[in-house]
Structure 1
């Protein structure tokens, strides 16, 4: 494939340019549908005249439809877009970037979606879809999936409505207690959404993410909590996000002493209640109930998801502690920044 693409670039470069442009238009419509021509032209930095010509062609090919509310993809358009993803990664060089990121981070696999979720928040939905496809690929007949909270995992839950898990037995369990005040982004809510969208079951962990040592000892004696913790330990797949240190500390309502500790330790990344500096050193850990960082290597599959240029330092810092078998799902913005830091 690579050799063919190189030859095509030399012989008919306009063909590949047209292909990339139309793929970008289709993908942008999928991200924002229903969308009007003016809004789409502005998003793509393209004149309305050029965009009009392109979308008329795509309509004639039955790849998009026009409605009063705006343009949207047809079933054929969605199928074509999915089929083109790997080809477009070769054309744009993203496959090569994925290999470079794996080498820099020392992990098994990296999946990169085009774009930067810091610049376009809808790219986070693409990360969610990519995670859902990875999960679909890794599933056995019976599965326990441990899931953390966060907006990226919430995107994964939404995307699971579009994957094929027919005949699979799925049990989603929260890997952590609740963090922050936004209920929809907490692990319990996300597990419930994943179970509903994938036709599986879920369990609830009725504990806050951060607790005192005394309360932790008491809660660990509760049979219902012990049952969920046992399920977490038996999980086949772990799916989790990676946070920016100071933002996660704010979500946890960390006190002045803890914030000073993070600042003094130059913390940049967070996962599972552990805060890391740029070298990957743990500079602070909160007392939590649920999956612990040192337990990760025991799991068969670990999928980490985070995107956006601003998350690059957090990803790099965490990956110095991550299992080598980790699959990272990220976006182009984070990936390019990760490589810059090398």
Structure 2
């Protein structure tokens, strides 16, 4: 019935759906940035201040936003409206049908698609984090072990958690990346544990060290072996998917190795493994922690990645099997469908 109403709106009053979507996007941005001023909103959304002023005045009159000296914030009524509008926008964009299509074609239990493009809109990346945090909350029970990978998207997941399960233990899925501390798996594990009110164990070993070096490190630190065993027993894994070459460069792999990874056709990376289409693992970095072939033994595996540029990466990693839930954005989902339909996998 709702689908039919949306179809009628598109035909007889297309401007109405445009207004609804514009106000939804504005309200969503205010929610993520609150308290925020109108000028900041205008800059971030590339809108004229006059247009923003008119829209937020309407939202205020409707009781959806409120003003203070610090800026605009979304009211409780506005929060409820956002939740209702989210499903409308998903139907408007045809995302429900696309979710079902991709879950079937990728052989996943569930696909969740967030409207928009996380490469172009940071708000969409935050929504990816919120969605992943929501799925985590649905599957998280008492006395569980949660493993998380590193990356900016995973940082958004930890940031979005707003519930507590104090009996949870959080561990990094693998050794740390050579990147900013905030995006390392150890940091994200600690932040997530703090949000959940649980405990965490860290893995103080760099990713990609040689096998010989790893043996020396393990021999000198019994605690690492203990943490490695906890990681292997994870009940839930939440991890990101990256572009193969970009991740190889971030890990500081030698230029010759990066060239070899490209030569082998790798397009996606997850958990230190580089994958080619349609799902072949072609290169593996040595480290302690989970690998893609460990996923079958984990209760719930949640992959999070967005942006059309990551479509091939998502397809390649998903093709290795073992995933349960994919949380992505509209841009990536439509690019994935195009790749599948044009037989590019």
Aligned in 2, Cα 1:59/1:145: closer, same or farther, shift over 3 Å? same
C-alpha deviations, 1:64-112, integer Å up to 9, x for none? 1234554321232123212432233123321112122223322221111
TM-score when normalising by structure 1:
0.90
Aligned to 2:304: 305
Aligned to 1:177: 175
Q: How does 1:320-335 map to 2 (within 5 A)?
A: 320-323=319-322, 325-335=323-333
Aligned to 1:82: 83
CA contact (8 A) 1:210 1:289 kept: no
Q: Which runs of 5+ in 1 are unaligned?
A: none
The offset of 1:135, in angstroms, is 0.4
Aligned in 2, Cα 1:249/1:12: closer, same or farther, shift over 3 Å? closer
Is 1:248 the equivalent of 2:250? no
TM-score when normalising by structure 2:
0.89
CA contact (8 A) 2:166 2:199 kept: no
Secondary structure, aligned partner of 1:270: strand
For the residues of structure 1 that align with 2:184 and 2:25, how far apart are their CA atoms? 33
CA contact (8 A) 2:151 2:240 kept: yes
For the residues of structure 2 that align with 1:140 and 1:280, how far apart are their CA atoms? 31
For the residues of structure 2 that align with 1:142 and 1:83, how far apart are their CA atoms? 33
Aligned to 1:73: 74
For the residues of structure 2 that align with 1:219 and 1:207, how far apart are their CA atoms? 8
Which structure has more relative contact order (CA 8 Å, sep 6+)? It is: 1
Aligned to 2:262: 263
Aligned length: 338
Aligned to 2:288: 289
Aligned in 2, Cα 1:327/1:3: closer, same or farther, shift over 3 Å? same
Secondary structure, aligned partner of 1:173: strand
For the residues of structure 1 that align with 2:60 and 2:290, how far apart are their CA atoms? 49
Secondary structure, aligned partner of 1:107: coil
Secondary structure, aligned partner of 2:259: helix
Is 1:5 the equivalent of 2:5? yes
C-alpha deviations, 1:201-256, integer Å up to 9, x for none? 11111111112111223344442112111211221100100011111111111112
Q: How does 1:228-239 map to 2 (within 5 A)?
A: 228-239=227-238
Aligned to 1:105: 106
Aligned to 2:343: none
For the residues of structure 2 that align with 1:3 and 1:31, how far apart are their CA atoms? 28
Q: How does 1:31-110 map to 2 (within 5 A)?
A: 31-38=32-39, 40-41=41-42, 49-110=50-111
Q: Which runs of 5+ in 2 are unaligned?
A: 341-345
The offset of 1:54, in angstroms, is 3.0
Aligned in 2, Cα 1:281/1:140: closer, same or farther, shift over 3 Å? same
Aligned in 2, Cα 1:75/1:2: closer, same or farther, shift over 3 Å? closer
For the residues of structure 1 that align with 2:117 and 2:225, how far apart are their CA atoms? 40
Secondary structure, aligned partner of 1:122: helix
For the residues of structure 1 that align with 2:47 and 2:185, how far apart are their CA atoms? 40
The offset of 1:3, in angstroms, is 5.1
Secondary structure, aligned partner of 1:81: helix
